[in-house]
Amino acid sequence: MSDITMYGAEWCGDCRRSKKFLDSNNVSYNYIDVEADASASEKVIEINGGMRSIPVILFPDGTHLTEPSDAALKEKLVALKKL
């Protein structure tokens, strides 16, 4: 099991982009579909202070990124030595 978790949905373009970035860089992560899991949707709303913005990517250092650009995601993964 990975220590990175991504909350997303198949209809979400930003989610597909972030998944593609993670996959193409061989970064392992747990994917949770907020459409299939109501508690995951509630978790996203809690993390984002009432907003249902996705993707939300949680990291092992306790931080998260919401709707990150590829550049921001790369910067975070480099900082965590995942890239």
The per-residue pLDDT for range 26-61, each reduced to its tens digit, is: 999 999 999 999 999 999 999 999 999 999 999 999
Domains of the chain: 5-79 (3.40.30.10)
Going by pLDDT thresholds of 50, 70 and 90, the confidence category of residue 68 is very high
pTM value is 0.95
Residue 4 and residue 62 in contact, taking contact as beta carbons nearer than 8 Å: no
Cα–Cα separations (whole angstroms), residue 21 to 29, 49, 61, 74: 12, 26, 20, 9
